[in-house]
Structure 1
Amino acid sequence: MQGLHLTADLSGCDPARPVMGDAAALRERCLAAVRAAGLAPVGEVFHRFEPGGVTGVVLLAESHVAVHTWPELGAVTLDVYVCNFGADNSARARALLAALEQAFAPAGAQRHEIVRGTQA
C-alpha cells in the first residue's frame, strides 16, 4: 500500500463562481477534471448546505477526491488521494489538483503532499 495524498487550502475565491455554491456545477467540474486526469470515478456524493457552500466527494478506482467550499469566506479545501498499487498515479493526482484549483481561481493557496503507506 503506497499512495500520494495532496491537499490544498484555497483563499480569495470569488463566491459568485457557480462551483462555490451550486452542487451540480461543482459535480460537473469535478467529474470532468477526474476524467481529464485519466482517473476512474466509481461513485459520488455532492451536498449543498443552506445557505452556503458545497461538500463533494468522488470515489475513484484509485481512491478519492473531496472538495469543501465556503463562499462566505471565499475559501475552498481540496483533497486528492491516489493509491499507486499497480501503477504510479502521482502525475494524475497532481493534474487533478491543478485542474480543481483552476476552477476556483484562488488568490492564494497552501499545498501539501504526503506520501502514504510503505514503499515496496
Structure 2
Amino acid sequence: MRKAARLGGFSKERLTPTRETNTNVTYLAPAQRPVESTTEDHFIRKDGVEYAGTHLLVELWGASNLADVAGIENALLEGARKAGATVLHSYMHPFGEGMGVSGVVVLAESHISIHTWPERGYAAIDLFMCGKADPYKAIPALKAAFAPNAIQVAESKRGLVV
C-alpha cells in the first residue's frame, strides 16, 4: 500500500509535488483547523489568520564580513535578541580560511540559519519564528553586521491553517 493511502487516502493525482524525481515523497492533506485545545501551541493568530510562524528568506548582496565566523554568529545572536526570540543553541561551520560559513541558531521559537559566499558578497539567511518573536525585527541587526548594498526579503506563512 502506498504511503499516501495509509495517510488518509490522498493520492498522487490530488497533491502533486513540483518534481517527480523523489520517490520517497509522502503526500499529506492540507492542514485542517484543529480542535480547540487548552494547551498553548505558539501558533500565531493575527488578522483572522492562523499559522505556525513567519518564515523570511533574506538575501544580502554586496555584503561584507561573510567569512568572519565570530562576527556572523554575533550578528545572528543579536538578530534573535532583537526579534524577542529565545536562543537555545548556535553552531557555525567555516569552510576554510576566507571561505563561506554555514550556521544555525536554534531558537525556542524555531531557527535562524545562514550560508555565505564571501567571494560573491552574498548571504542567504532564513529567519523562521513562531509565537511572539518577530523575525522582521532581526533584519536591522543583519544590515548593521553585513552592510549589504542590496537586500531582498520574501515572506511565507508556515503551517497556514485553512
Provide TM-score, normalisation by structure 1: 0.82
2:111 corresponds to 1:83: no
Taking the TM superposition and a 5 Å limit, the aligned residue runs for 1:28-67 are 28-51=74-97, 52-67=99-114
Q: What is the CA RMSD across the aligned residues, in angstroms?
A: 1.7
Kept after mapping to 2: 8 A contact 1:59/1:65: yes
Paired residues, what number?
111
Q: Which residue identity is paired with 1:33?
A: G
- Identical aligned residues as a percent: 37
Q: Which residue identity is paired with 1:67?
A: I
Higher relative contact order (CA 8 A, sep 6+): 1
Kept after mapping to 1: 8 A contact 2:75/2:141: no
**Which one of the candidate residues 60, 68, 90 is aligned to 1:10?**
60
Provide TM-score, normalisation by structure 2: 0.62
TM-aligned CA deviation for residue 101 of structure 1: 2.9
Richer in strand (by share): 1
Paired position in structure 2 for 1:27: 73
Q: Could you list the per-position Cα deviations for residues 81-111 of structure 1 after superposition, in whole angstroms to 9, with x for gaps in the alignment?
A: 0123xxx43xx21101332133211111221
CA distance in 1 between counterparts of 2:119 and 2:57 reads 21
Q: Which range is displaced more, 65-74 or 92-101?
A: 92-101
TM-aligned CA deviation for residue 29 of structure 1: 2.2
Give the match's secondary structure for 1:36: helix
TM-aligned CA deviation for residue 50 of structure 1: 1.7
Which consecutive residues of structure 2, in runs of 5 or more, have no partner in the other structure? 1-42, 44-51
TM-aligned CA deviation for residue 37 of structure 1: 2.5
Greater Rg by CA = 2
Q: Which residue identity is paired with 2:90?
A: E
Give the match's secondary structure for 1:94: helix
Richer in helix (by share): 1
Q: Which range is displaced more, 32-41 or 75-84?
A: 32-41
CA distance in 1 between counterparts of 2:70 and 2:91 reads 11
